[in-house]
């Protein structure tokens, strides 16, 4: 049997062909109703037509209980496929008919909620798993976040083992690094709290942690219900995340998911791909494609809508933005590496791949500061705000500045106290005019607690291993599947790609209030 060390040497000296690695292979992909999931599927369909098939595990919903219906109405109709459809609609429809296989299932359930026959059939079909399913809500209820981001990984690992130890690519996040500071590299993350024991086999032992958290969740379930229960579970998630070394429930539970896979797949091929803040596409399928408003857009929207004049953050802090297509390309390169045939051992067994971690990020190689980003947004607004009617309701005139979290909370607290005093006086006259404003202040203070971690960064992510992987593919593949953040021209990206994309794809039409018109209609009598 060839050792892992030798396997690494062979991998490092053997070119990887993305097309050859994926040719005829069948990929199981989760999370395809999400932003990144759609970009992955579109890229595979467009640039790896030789792939054997793509199996999509999709949870049914009230409107579309079956995976096929949800794919047809929520995925295939997405604007991410517009270019492919306009280029060759027949090819798109043929691919969907022949190579897209929709499975109605739930990642959080054992055997994905499938019956035995369907589960066994799926196991015989799939060669590799891409798990991009996640709850990306920073303030998710702890039980929900645990279920989706951590505990579901036991089901992924079981599927991998039962299917013959097929490789797994787990889409995680750079922010599993938690409260660690400085230069953060592609490796397993040590919690800053020091409260979670480490196993020398390469993972942190989280069984005790999971048991403790589930006990606390059970106590809340017994004592509360409804919205009060939801609020308590959100609060518990933030409290426990902070205690163990993370900013929010999302990143805490994603880190736990990594540890579950590291242990459960200790003898199997596993790649963990960590993107930073994923934003609109740089190149394909079209520049600027995006779905929904993302983390970095909170600053942009705050400025554009003029609802606040200050925002928590460090102007000199580096905000780590990475375009979605670079993330999808990184995932596909990682899958190609997992499937890459490195040769056979003398006893006929295939060489094992070691566990690998790749970070898809920009702060280490092509940093942009928050101040630079804001100035680019302001310049585009000054010059061309009329072109972005969904984003800018008018030319922004109010001053906008970044302040520290401490200063922000102090200012908001002062405003809250002032409004409470005004409200008290108003109630003497039978009026309660500031309730909505007070609610908005509470919301802003809560959001700042989470968001300031991303806007006051004390870290830089590095991705030398991902760049090294891209160097092991052909020049043609590097051009077709670029991953290097050095390709980003920040002025062009922010002003001419991201802002137009946000306006076109992510934002809804502005609702314009119309004056009510009273029309007195008289029925005419027939002569």
**Token reading at 253:** 């539970």
Is residue 78 domain-resident? yes
| Alpha carbons 146 and 254: distance in angstroms, whole number | 9
Is residue 339 domain-resident? yes
Residue 378's Cβ-count burial label (10 Å; 0-12, 13-18, 19+) is middle
Residue 328 CA, distance from chain mean position: 11
What are 125-137's pLDDT values in tens digits?
999 999 999 999 9
pLDDT higher than 70, residue 428: no
310 has which bridge partners? 401
What CATH number does residue 10 fall under?
3.40.50.720
pLDDT higher than 70, residue 527: no
pLDDT higher than 60, residue 403: yes
pLDDT-based confidence at residue 89 (cuts at 50, 70, 90)? very high
Is residue 299 domain-resident? no
Is residue 503 domain-resident? no
pLDDT higher than 60, residue 2: no
Q: How many domains does the chain have?
A: 1
pLDDT higher than 50, residue 342: no
pLDDT-based confidence at residue 391 (cuts at 50, 70, 90)? very high
pLDDT at 426: 57
Is residue 512 domain-resident? no
| Beta-carbon contacts of residue 15 (< 8 Å; ≥ 6 apart) | 472, 473, 474
Is residue 434 domain-resident? no
| Alpha carbons 360 and 68: distance in angstroms, whole number | 31
Is residue 330 domain-resident? yes
pLDDT at 430: 54
What are 303-323's pLDDT values in tens digits?
898 877 778 889 999 999 999
pLDDT-based confidence at residue 427 (cuts at 50, 70, 90)? low
Average pLDDT over all residues of the chain: 90
Domain span at 107: 4-288+321-368+459-487
pTM (two decimals):
0.90
Is residue 162 domain-resident? yes
């Amino acid at each position: 049997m060839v050792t892992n060390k030798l396997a690494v040497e062979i991998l490092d000296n053997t070119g990887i062909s993305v097309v050859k690695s994926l040719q005829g292979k069948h990929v199981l992909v989760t999370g395809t109703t999400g932003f990144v999931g759609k970009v992955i599927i579109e890229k595979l369909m467009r640039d790896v037509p030789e792939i054997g098939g793509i199996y999509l595990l999709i949870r049914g919903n009230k409107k579309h209980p079956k995976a096929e219906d949800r794919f047809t109405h929520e995925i295939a109709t997405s604007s991410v496929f517009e270019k492919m459809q306009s280029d060759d609609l027949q090819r798109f429809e043929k691919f969907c008919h022949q190579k897209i296989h929709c499975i109605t299932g739930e990642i959080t359930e054992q055997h994905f909620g499938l019956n035995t026959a369907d589960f066994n059939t799926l196991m015989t079909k799939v060669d590799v798993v891409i798990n991009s399913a996640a709850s990306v809500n920073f303030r998710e209820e702890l039980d929900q976040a645990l279920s989706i981001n951590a505990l579901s990984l036991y089901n992924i690992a079981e599927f991998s083992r039962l299917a013959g130890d097929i490789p797994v690519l787990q889409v995680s996040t750079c922010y599993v690094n938690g409260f660690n500071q400085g230069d953060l590299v592609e490796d397993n993350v040590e919690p800053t709290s020091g409260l979670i024991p480490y196993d020398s086999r390469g993972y942190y032992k989280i069984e005790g942690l999971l048991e403790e958290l589930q006990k606390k969740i059970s106590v809340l379930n017994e004592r509360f219900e409804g919205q009060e229960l939801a609020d308590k579970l959100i609060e518990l998630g933030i409290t426990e995340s902070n205690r163990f070394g993370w900013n929010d429930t999302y990143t805490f539970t994603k880190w736990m998911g990594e540890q579950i896979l590291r242990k459960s797949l200790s003898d199997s091929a596993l790649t963990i791909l960590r993107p930073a803040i994923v934003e609109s596409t740089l190149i394909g399928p079209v520049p600027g494609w995006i779905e929904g408003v993302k983390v970095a857009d909170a600053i942009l929207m705050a400025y554009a809508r003029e609802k606040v004049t200050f925002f928590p953050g460090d102007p000199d802090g580096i905000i780590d933005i990475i375009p979605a297509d670079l993330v999808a390309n990184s995932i596909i390169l990682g899958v190609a590496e997992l499937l890459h045939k490195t040769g056979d051992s003398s006893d006929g067994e295939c060489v094992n791949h070691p566990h690998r971690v790749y970070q898809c990020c920009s702060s280490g190689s092509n940093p942009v500061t928050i101040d630079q980003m804001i100035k680019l947004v302001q310049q585009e607004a000054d010059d061309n705000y009329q072109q972005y009617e969904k984003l800018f309701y008018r030319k922004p005139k109010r001053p906008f500045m970044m302040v520290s979290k401490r200063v922000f909370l102090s200012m908001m607290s002062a405003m809250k106290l002032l409004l409470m005093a005004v409200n008290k006086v108003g109630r003497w006259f039978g009026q309660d005019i500031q309730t909505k404003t007070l609610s908005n202040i509470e919301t802003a203070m809560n959001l700042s607690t989470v968001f300031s971690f991303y806007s006051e960064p004390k870290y830089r992510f590095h991705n030398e291993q991902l760049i090294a992987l891209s160097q092991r593919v052909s020049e043609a593949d590097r051009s077709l599947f670029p991953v290097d953040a050095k390709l980003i021209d920040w002025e062009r990206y922010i002003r001419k790609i991201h802002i137009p994309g946000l306006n076109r794809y992510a934002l809804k039409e502005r609702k314009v209030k119309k004056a009510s018109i009273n029309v007195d209609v008289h029925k005419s009598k027939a002569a």
